[in-house]
Amino acid sequence: MPRSADQRISDYALRPEGDVLNALDLLEGTVTLDVRNSWLLRPQIKAEYFLTRKFTVRVSGDYVLTHPDIIVTTPAGQLANRWDASNFHANIGIGVYPFHK
């Protein structure tokens, strides 16, 4: 099935490394993980100010809004819709244009 460049699909599986049951504070038993696609919204803003013809100051910020659809099934029941992967990024930097006349 062809996918667009903006469509991201990831497959996850529990690996035997680590102590999954202890990490989820669960009793002994089978744990399954069902991860489905999620919508992602990422508004951003950027600005650049030229100090001279060759040097700039750059700032940017963005907010990633996503709530992945993850269901963990354990012997004690299901844990669903408890994940919020939303986050904020802020960057500041300098730009150098050595070949700019």
Residue 89's pLDDT is 93
Give me the mean pLDDT over the 63-79 stretch. Answer: 84
Q: pLDDT tens across 9-59, in order?
A: 444 455 556 666 666 666 666 777 788 777 889 999 999 999 999 999 999
Residue 66's pLDDT is 87
In single-letter form, the type of residue at position 43 comes to: P
Each domain of the chain, given as residue ranges in start order, spans 20-96
The C-alpha atoms of residue 64 and residue 24 are separated, in whole angstroms, by: 26
Residue 63: pLDDT band (50, 70, 90) is very high
**pTM for this model (two decimals):** 0.52
Close Cβ partners of 29 (under 8 Å, ≥ 6 residues apart): 21, 74, 75
Residue 53's pLDDT is 92
